[in-house]
């Protein structure tokens, strides 16, 4: 896939403009969005991603478009999983609902910047060292196993990292959020930081950790930097509104982490197999390609990703519904 500088520039300008509009809306009127407002925005961003995929299909063919859709679905599902941690952070720091939109948007922008850096570094490494796929694959398999064992993080599991603890000690932080800015003035007239700064540090460091999972996952589907970047951007767009739209539904997706572990494990195995098929590492098979290792087609990857997400979602909702009925029966008795 040969992407010209002009296409890159147009893509960045258009996506930047969409994010700017989103930012202006929040800047003018911080509020908790309604279900209707959130639904409209989420639908808009999903439709935008689908249309972009159609454009890729028309200009480059179905295989490349399939890579975009598979990458976007993987990153989107990982982003939804990230919302669980965002909910815990918001709850732990008692962020007022009207300020949560701004926190989420800044967090998403930070995630875009961090992932952009990782994408550039990953693309550079892959172009120079084919053995990086072995490392990416092993890391994803390791992550999948841990995710399957530990499940979703809950409030008891969350611990403030060293950066947040240092910020608490080194900075003067007030007890309230004031008007929702990063600084405020106390009764003695001294300038202090609000807890919003600590929240942003927590979101930013969390984004950094999540990027370590998501970037190898997307490179396991496509090694085209343009598709990797756009899939990540579209996956993060609308995440703020999705946070308010899903609300309590997040707690009902009890099997999402298990589904994601299957997806990450599949992509990890796919990476290792493709690395073996294209092997040039001297101490593996004498530096020769491994003939039995297959290249997994994109249609199979897309089928596994969609099928796993559907099964995990349906099974989660069924289990949550049964648990709710059991609780009602117990309450009646």
> Where along the chain do its domains lie?
5-332
pLDDT bracket for residue 27 (50, 70, 90): low
**How does the average pLDDT of the chain come out, rounded?**
81
> What pTM was estimated for this model as a whole?
0.81
Do 247 and 234 contact (CB within 8 A), yes or no? no
| Of the listed ranges 156-165, 168-177, 290-299, the one predicted with least confidence | 156-165
Residue 50, pLDDT > 90, answer yes
| Mean pLDDT to the nearest integer, 248-272 | 83
Structure tokens at 155: 């409030």
Give the model's pLDDT for residue 163: 80
- Measured CA to CA, the distance from residue 88 to residue 153 in angstroms comes to 9
| Model pLDDT for residues 52-90, shown as the tens digit of each residue | 999 999 999 989 999 999 999 988 888 877 777 787 888
The pLDDT of residue 21 is above 80: no
Stretch 5-17: mean pLDDT, rounded? 88
pLDDT of residue 331: 65
Q: Are the C-beta atoms of 67 and 226 separated by less than 8 Å?
A: no
Query: DSSP assignment of 269-300, as one string?
Result: HHHHHHHHHT---TTSGGGS--TTPPPPPHHH
Whole-number Å distance between alpha carbons of 72 and 232: 7
Structure confidence at residue 31 (pLDDT) = 63
Inter-residue contact 297 to 250 (CB < 8 Å):
no
Dist. CA 107–CA 19, nearest whole Å: 13
Hey, how many other C-beta atoms are within 10 angstroms of the C-beta on 307?
Answer: 13
Give per-residue pLDDT as tens, 100-140.
Answer: 777 777 777 787 788 888 888 888 887 777 778 888 888 88
How high is the pLDDT of residue 53? 93
- Averaged pLDDT for residues 228-249: 80
pLDDT digits (tens, 9 = 90+) for 198-223: 888 888 887 777 777 788 888 888 88
| pLDDT given at position 332 | 63
Tell which residue, 110, 116, 269, has the closest CA to residue 203: 110
């Amino acid at each position: 896939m040969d992407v010209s500088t002009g296409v890159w520039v147009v893509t960045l300008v258009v996506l930047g403009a969409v994010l700017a509009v989103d930012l202006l809306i929040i800047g003018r009127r911080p509020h908790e969005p309604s279900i209707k407002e959130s639904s409209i925005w989420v639908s808009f961003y999903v439709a935008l991603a689908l249309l972009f995929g159609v454009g890729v299909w028309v200009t480059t063919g179905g295989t490349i478009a399939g890579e975009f859709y598979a990458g976007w679905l993987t990153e989107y599902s990982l982003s939804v999983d990230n919302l669980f941690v965002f909910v815990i952070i918001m709850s732990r720091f008692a962020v007022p609902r009207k300020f949560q939109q701004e926190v989420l948007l800044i967090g998403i922008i930070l995630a875009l910047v961090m992932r952009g850096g990782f994408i550039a570094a990953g693309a550079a490494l892959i172009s120079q060292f084919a053995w990086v796929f072995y490392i990416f694959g092993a890391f994803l398999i390791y992550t999948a196993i841990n995710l399957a064992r530990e499940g979703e993080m809950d409030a008891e599991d969350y611990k403030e990292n060293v950066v947040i603890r240092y910020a608490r000690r080194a900075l003067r932080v007030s007890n309230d959020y004031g008007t929702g800015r990063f600084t405020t003035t106390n009764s003695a007239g001294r300038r202090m930081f609000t807890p919003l700064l600590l929240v942003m540090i927590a979101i930013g460091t969390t984004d950094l950790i999540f990027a370590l999972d998501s970037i190898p996952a997307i490179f396991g589907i496509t090694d085209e930097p343009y598709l990797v970047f756009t899939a990540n951007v579209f996956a993060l767009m609308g995440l703020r509104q999705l946070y308010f739209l899903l609300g309590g539904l997040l707690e009902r997706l009890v099997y999402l982490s298990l589904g994601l572990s299957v997806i990450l494990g599949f992509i990890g195995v796919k990476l290792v197999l493709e690395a073996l098929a294209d092997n040039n590492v001297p101490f593996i098979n004498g530096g020769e390609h491994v003939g039995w290792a297959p290249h997994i087609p994109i249609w199979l990857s897309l089928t596994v990703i969609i099928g796993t997400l559907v099964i995990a979602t349906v099974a989660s909702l069924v289990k949550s519904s049964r648990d709710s009925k059991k609780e009602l029966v117990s309450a009646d008795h």
